[in-house]
């Protein structure tokens, strides 16, 4: 078992739960970020874990962080979570990022981290990627998102257009290259909309109850922006640990990760109504499964989501 783990994006909201999950299972965790957890703009938190301040896209800072952690493995959560070059963009404007910030930080940050890892002998990396690598994020072309089959799985073509989805796909390619060249085992977790609020007991989380999308007669193509699936931040932490501990994987593997869909209806019914163009494909969907399946993660990582809104509802109505 890898015992010393460096978490990039260590001051971020997901790192809080990943660090707790790993520490509770015997890992020695070091955090690495350019801002402290208590400075997080939305979800500040505090920790007593070792923390290294530095820039992800600086090779020297990455080497310093890995050396300080004496890392056996990396959980790579550090990234900018949206396209800084899309205008008007409330996300980018609010944070005052330069137009090239997303592409530069995400890709060069991952390159610098992997280069530091290979120089210091780190042989396992778990990377927080995104389902936006599919191309269903910002449709710059204005064309519909093309769905080849349902449910979408890891073999589905990837066609990103915006700088965020493209940067994450390029990061996956960097991981693949370092896996081939230096025998670094890498796992990319394609996360589907992180719910940070529910775990913290605050309102507005993606996992707060049901949503059955309305009818859209004549709508063409697949989902844009969301598939109405989400992943609870506690399940993100869980699957990061499972990916570190998994045996028998290929040198590089990607997995779609969700906690649940928000449908209370059968997914085939939702698709026929909300994505009528895909109705003929919907017979392959099972129950309330979303448009993107997590079957591979269940089978190869042993991933079983623990924090679905359905589970919370069942606990709420269960007899004392």
Instruction: Dump pLDDT digits (tens) for 25-38.
Output: 999 999 999 999 99
For the chain, give percent helix, strand, coil, nearest 5.
40, 15, 45
In this structure, are residues 6 and 127 in contact, taking their beta carbons and an 8 Å threshold?
no
Q: Which two tokens stand for residue 54?
A: 């530095």
In this structure, are residues 105 and 81 in contact, taking their beta carbons and an 8 Å threshold?
no
In this structure, are residues 227 and 291 in contact, taking their beta carbons and an 8 Å threshold?
yes
CATH architecture of 4-198+232-259+292-307: 3-Layer(aba) Sandwich (3.40)
Q: Which two tokens stand for residue 103?
A: 């592409």
Q: CA 189, 190, 192: angle at the middle one, nearest 5?
A: 125
pLDDT in tens, 158-180: 999 999 999 999 999 999 999 99
φ/ψ of 198, rounded to 5, equals -60, -45
Query: What size, in residues, is the chain?
Result: 320
Spell out the residues 6+ positions from residue 37 whose beta carbon is closer than 8 angstroms to its own: 10, 11, 12, 15, 16, 31, 44, 45, 46, 47, 51
Residue 317: its pLDDT value, please? 47
Nearest to 128 by CA among 148, 149, 113: 113
Maximum Cα–Cα distance for the chain, whole Å?
A: 57
Nearest to 309 by CA among 240, 190, 211, 193: 211
Q: Which two tokens stand for residue 274?
A: 């909300």
pTM assigned to the model = 0.94
The enclosing H or E element of 188 equals strand 185-191
Radius of gyration of the chain (CA): 19
State the virtual CA torsion across 306, 29, 170, 235 in degrees, nearest 10. Answer: 10
Residue 2: its pLDDT value, please? 57
In this structure, are residues 149 and 155 in contact, taking their beta carbons and an 8 Å threshold?
no
Q: Give yes or no for a cis peptide into 151 (omega within 30° of 0).
A: yes
Which DSSP state fits 107? Answer: I
Residue 98: its pLDDT value, please? 77
Residue with tokens 């993606």: 206
Residue 314: its pLDDT value, please? 60
Residue with tokens 């499964």: 289
The residue extents of the domains of the chain are 4-198+232-259+292-307
Nearest to 69 by CA among 18, 108, 104, 30: 30
Q: Which two tokens stand for residue 316?
A: 């709420």
Spell out the residues 6+ positions from residue 73 whose beta carbon is closer than 8 angstroms to its own: 2, 4, 5, 6, 122, 123, 124, 125, 126, 244
Residue 218: its pLDDT value, please? 92
φ/ψ of 128, rounded to 5, equals -85, 95
pLDDT tens track of the chain, all 320 residues?
A: 558 999 999 999 999 999 999 999 999 999 999 999 999 988 999 999 999 999 999 999 999 999 999 999 999 999 988 887 765 555 455 556 777 889 999 999 999 999 999 999 999 999 999 999 999 998 999 999 999 999 999 999 999 999 999 999 999 999 999 999 999 999 999 999 999 988 888 877 776 668 889 999 999 999 999 999 999 999 999 999 999 999 999 999 999 999 999 999 999 999 999 999 999 999 999 999 899 999 999 999 999 999 998 877 665 544 55
Residue 133: its pLDDT value, please? 98
Cα 288 from Cα 173, distance rounded (Å): 32
């Amino acid at each position: 078992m890898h015992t010393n783990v460096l978490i990039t994006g260590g001051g971020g909201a997901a790192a809080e739960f990943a660090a707790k999950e790993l520490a509770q299972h015997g890992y020695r965790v070091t955090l690495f970020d350019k801002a402290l957890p208590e400075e997080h703009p939305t979800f500040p938190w505090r920790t007593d874990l070792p923390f290294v301040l530095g820039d992800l896209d600086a090779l020297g800072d990455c080497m310093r962080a890995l050396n300080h952690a004496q890392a056996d493995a990396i959980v790579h959560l550090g990234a900018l979570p949206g396209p800084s070059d899309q205008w008007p963009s409330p996300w980018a404007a609010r944070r005052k990022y330069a137009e090239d910030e997303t592409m530069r930080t995400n890709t060069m940050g991952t390159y610098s981290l992997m280069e530091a890892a290979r120089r210091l002998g780190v042989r396992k990396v778990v990377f927080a990627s995104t389902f936006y690598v599919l191309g269903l994020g910002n449709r710059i072309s204005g064309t519909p998102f093309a769905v080849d089959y349902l449910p979408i799985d890891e073999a589905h073509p990837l066609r990103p257009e915006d700088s965020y989805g493209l940067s994450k796909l390029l990061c996956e390619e960097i991981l693949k290259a370092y896996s081939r060249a230096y025998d670094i085992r890498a796992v990319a977790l394609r996360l589907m909309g992180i719910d940070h609020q529910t775990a913290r007991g605050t309102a507005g989380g993606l996992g707060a109850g049901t949503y059955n999308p309305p009818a859209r007669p004549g709508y063409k193509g697949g989902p844009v922006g969301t598939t109405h699936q989400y992943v609870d931040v506690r399940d993100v932490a869980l699957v990061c640990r499972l990916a570190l501990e998994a045996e028998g994987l290929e040198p590089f593997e990607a997995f779609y990760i969700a906690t649940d869909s928000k449908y209370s209806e059968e997914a085939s019914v939702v698709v026929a109504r909300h994505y009528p163009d895909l109705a003929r494909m919907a017979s392959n969907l099972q129950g309330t499964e979303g448009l993107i399946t997590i079957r591979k993660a269940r089978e190869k990582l042993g991933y079983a989501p623990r924090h679905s809104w359905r589970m919370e509802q069942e606990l709420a109505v269960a007899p004392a």
